[in-house]
């Protein structure tokens, strides 16, 4: 546990891409070796950068609803690990937030994942996380989410829970009808033996 605590401290003080971050570095990660649920996201947004709390925004509210988790459960690192592809807010571009910085995953991802030996379910949000965790696929987010049964029961690809994806949700009603009820049951099942 000392080694893991030191790794988290290193990550939280990381400045690898500081010169490229308009808002400066503020790595945001939640993890513990006992975690059973891994949420692989993209990168913190500005609101999360300001608060320092992962998914402390409208996306987080949607995500907790999708997973059937309370705030208390969601923010318990001994249950839920939250590892975006980029730990810092990458800045804003013309059409929204920029892509996660490419330096982050190679520097830290494998190191921290090596400590998460009890993960029973990985939620893979959005294209950047899907390209990493579902290596070798060239499918779109929609195609991957539609093929969720191919990855079940250990991995579930989801669209990003941003309110910007409400149009996607309206175009894909099967997501809320077919997938979300099963996902909530699977999340509860993966966390049921957690004594924390």
Q: Ramachandran region of residue 192, left (φ > 0), alpha (ψ -120 to 50) or beta?
A: alpha
In whole angstroms, give the CA distance from residue 194 to residue 186. 14
Query: Using CA atoms, how far apart are residues 156 and 150, in angstroms rounded to an integer?
Result: 9
Q: Which pLDDT score is estimated for 196?
A: 52
pTM over 0.85: yes
- What sign results for the dihedral spanned by CA atoms 53, 39, 25, 2? positive
Per-domain boundaries in the chain: 2-191
Contact 156, 182 (CB under 8 A): no
CB < 8 Å & 24+ apart, contacts of 98-102: 99/42, 99/43, 99/128, 100/42, 100/43, 100/128, 101/17, 101/20, 101/21, 101/43
Chain-centre distance for alpha carbon 159: 11
Q: Which helix (H) or strand (E) holds 182?
A: helix 180-191
At the fourth CATH level, the homologous superfamily of domain 2-191 is Uracil-DNA glycosylase-like domain (3.40.470.10)
Q: Specify whether the CB–CB gap between 84 and 92 falls below 8 A.
A: no
Terminal CA-CA length for the chain: 16
Instruction: Give, for all 196 residues of the chain, the pLDDT tens digit.
Output: 679 999 999 999 999 999 999 999 999 999 999 999 999 999 999 999 999 999 999 999 999 999 999 999 999 999 999 999 999 999 988 888 899 999 999 999 999 999 999 999 999 999 999 999 998 788 999 999 999 999 999 999 999 999 889 999 999 999 999 999 999 999 999 998 765 5
């Amino acid at each position: 546990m000392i080694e893991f605590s030191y790794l988290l401290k290193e990550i939280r003080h990381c400045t690898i891409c500081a010169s490229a971050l308009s808002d400066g570095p503020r790595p945001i990660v939640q993890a513990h070796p006992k975690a059973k649920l891994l949420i692989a996201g993209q990168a913190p947004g500005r609101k999360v950068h300001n608060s320092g709390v992962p998914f402390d925004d409208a996306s987080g509210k949607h995500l907790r609803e999708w997973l059937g988790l309370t705030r208390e459960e969601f923010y318990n690192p001994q249950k839920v690990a939250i590892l975006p592809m980029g730990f810092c807010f990458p800045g804003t571009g013309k059409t929204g937030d920029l892509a996660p910085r490419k330096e982050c995953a190679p520097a830290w991802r494998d190191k921290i994942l090596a400590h998460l030996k009890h993960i029973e379910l990985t939620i893979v949000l959005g294209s950047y996380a899907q390209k990493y965790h579902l290596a070798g696929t060239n499918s779109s987010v929609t195609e991957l989410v539609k093929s969720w049964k191919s990855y079940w029961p250990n991995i579930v690809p989801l669209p990003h829970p941003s309110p910007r994806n409400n149009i996607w949700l309206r175009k894909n009603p099967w997501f809320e009808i077919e997938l979300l009820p099963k996902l909530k049951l699977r999340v509860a099942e993966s966390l049921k033996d957690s004594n924390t």
